[in-house]
Each structure stands twice: as C-alpha cells, then as structure tokens.
Amino acid sequence: MSLINTSVDTAIAIAERRRGKLGEALYSGRPNTVLLRNVYALKSSTWLVVLSGFVEPVFYLLAFGVGLGRIIGDVTDGNGNPISYATFIAPALLATSAMNGAIYDSTWNVFFKMHFGKIYQAMLSTSLGPLDVALGEIGWALLRGFVYACGFTLVVGGMGLIPSLWGLLAIPAAVLIAFGFASVGMGITSYLKNFHQMDWINFFMLPMFLFSGTFYPLSIYPDWIRVMIEALPLYQAIALVRGCTLGNLDVSMLWHALYFVVMIVLGLLFTTKRLRALFLR
C-alpha cells in the first residue's frame, strides 16, 4: 500500500514553506489550482452557455447600433468629430459585457458553488486559504472576460467600428473592469442566502446599463444627475473603453483606470474577509 516517494515534496513540506510569510493563514500561493479545477469543469459543461456570453453584446450591437443607428445617423465623439451611432455604442457594449460576465461569474456561479456544490468547503479543508479561492475564482472570471473581450473586439473591429488603433487597449481595459466587478461581486454574493436575493443585483444592474452613457452622452442630464452617474462603476468602465476605441487618450483615462484599481483592492479585501467569516469561523 505504501508508496515511498523521496523525490517529491509532501503536502506538509509544501505548506510549511509558507511559514512566517505574510498572510499565511489566508493564502497558500496556489490560486492557479482553483483555476485548474474550473478548466476541468468546463470540459464537461454546456458550451452553449459559454458561447452566450459572447453572443449577447453582438446582438445588442446589431439591434441598437446597426438597426436603430440607421434612424439616428451620425453622432459626435467627445472632440466634436462625427462618428456612426454603432461606433459610439460599441465600446459601451464591450464594457457592459465585461461587467455582466464578471457579475455572472461572481454571483450565480459563486453562489451555486458556495451553497449547493459545497466546492469552497472542500477547497478550504485542504491547505488552500480563502484568498487562494477568491483569487482563483476571480482569475477565472477574468480569463473568460478576456476571451469574450477578444472575440467582441474582433467582431467590432471587423465591422469597422474601431476608428483608432488604440482600440486594442480596450481588451486589457475590459479585463481591468471585469476584475473590479468580480472582486466586489464575490463579496456581495457571500451575503446572499437564496436565489431570490440575486434579483436585487439585476435590479441595480439594468438601470445602470441603460443610463450610464451607454446609448447617449451624459451631457443631456442636469448636473446633479450627471455627477451621480459619473460615480457609478459602469460609467467609469464605458468612459475607459470608449476612450480607447475612439483614441481619445487624455489624463481622465488614468482616473477611470484608478477607479478600478481601488475597486479591485477593496473588493479583494472584502471578499477574503467574507470567505474567512463564512468558512473559517
């Protein structure tokens, strides 16, 4: 029965190597193994569901950009240059799909794994810590977000809706946006007790999608509404991606990016604390 193996580290030796390092009770340095688990799970999952994350923004683009855009005609970008309506909303749809994908992964998927699959319970009875789990799951959401963003950018670029070569930056921007939403979303999910409460998230997300400068510029709002909208993460996301695809790279882009860096850091702290409270209490 005994399998003597001297050349390979034991689980204990591996775990002891982290002794004395910062956050050793929370982190083992292996979020990649959480990602690996998702790769295995993906192999036997429904590919149609996977594909839907890509198809959704394309449908929106066809309906609103191409369909509705014919009636609307040209609009102007921030600098007063005329652009087609589809060119105006394409970056907003990319930002929105990055958000939706990240929120879907960090709410529905995480909720299921937490309460029904008991996946995290099993992970946290190994030498993984809650931060490994959080980073692994968020990393997975980002990987999906990256693939979707590449696909969408390719389609939109192919339709000639990305006037600037800077538009390629929209892909890393989408990943940054997804990171922000996923890290906060996972923490929020930890508070939810049933599927019904998941509707609250949609209650917040849909108006944000409609009113964050997705389909028209914020300049039509009175000042006080505009300031409120500008504080919302989706507005920040749209401004960031739109700046990339239209090639309007000014200083404000840094602020939009910083918004997400802060969101990521706070979200990770929040989520790790919550996972610890849930599973290691």
Partner 1 sequence: MPKSDASASSAASPELMIVAKNLTKRYGDFVAVDGINFEVKKGESFGLLGPNGAGKSTTMKMIASTSQRTDGELSILGKDPNDHGPEIRAHLGVVPQQDNLDRELKVWENLMTYGRFFGLKNSWLKAKIDELLEFAQLEEKRNSKTDDLSGGMKRRLTIARGLVNEPEILMLDEPTTGLDPQARHILWDRLFRLKENGVTLVITTHYMDEAEQLCDRLIVMDKGKIMAEGSPADLIKEYSSKEVLEVRFGSANNKEIASQLEGIGERLEVLPDRILVYTDNGEGALDRILAKGLHPVTTLVRRSSLEDVFLRLTGRSLAD
| Interaction of residue 21 with partner 1, rule CB under 8 A | no
| Interaction of residue 262 with partner 1, rule CB under 8 A | no
- Widest CA span in the chain: 76
For residue 82, the surrounding DSSP H or E stretch is: strand 82-84
Written as six digits, the tokens of 58 are: 């394309």
Tell how strand 82-84 and strand 74-76 pair up. Answer: antiparallel
SS3 175: helix
Tokens 């982190």 belong to: 27
- Which of 81, 121, 202, 252 is close enough to bind partner 1 by CB under 8 A? 121
| Interaction of residue 128 with partner 1, rule CB under 8 A | yes
Give min distance, CB of 94 to partner 1, in A: 29
Give min distance, CB of 101 to partner 1, in A: 19
- Is 177 in contact with 241 (CB distance < 8 Å)? yes
For residue 202, the surrounding DSSP H or E stretch is: helix 195-211
| Interaction of residue 41 with partner 1, rule CB under 8 A | yes
- Which of 127, 164, 197, 248 is close enough to bind partner 1 by CB under 8 A? 127
- Binding string, residues 80-119; x marks residues near partner 1 by CB under 8 A: -------------------------------------xxx
| Interaction of residue 40 with partner 1, rule CB under 8 A | yes
Stretch that binds partner 1, among 7-15, 161-169, 170-178, 261-269 (CB under 8 A): 7-15
Looking at the Cβ atoms of 42 and 249, the one nearer to partner 1 is 42
Written as six digits, the tokens of 265 are: 């850091």
In 3D space, the residue among 102, 172, 127 whose CA is nearest the CA of residue 29 turns out to be 127
- Cα(85)–Cα(88) distance, rounded to whole angstroms? 5
Looking at the Cβ atoms of 5 and 194, the one nearer to partner 1 is 5
- Cα(4)–Cα(217) distance, rounded to whole angstroms? 68
Looking at the Cβ atoms of 127 and 197, the one nearer to partner 1 is 127
- Cα(186)–Cα(191) distance, rounded to whole angstroms? 9
SS3 74: strand
Looking at the Cβ atoms of 96 and 271, the one nearer to partner 1 is 271
Give min distance, CB of 51 to partner 1, in A: 18
- Cα(167)–Cα(244) distance, rounded to whole angstroms? 5
Applying CB under 8 A, the residues found at the interface with partner 1 are 1-3, 5, 8-12, 14-16, 18-19, 24-25, 28, 30, 33-34, 36-37, 40-41, 44-45, 117-119, 121-129, 279-281
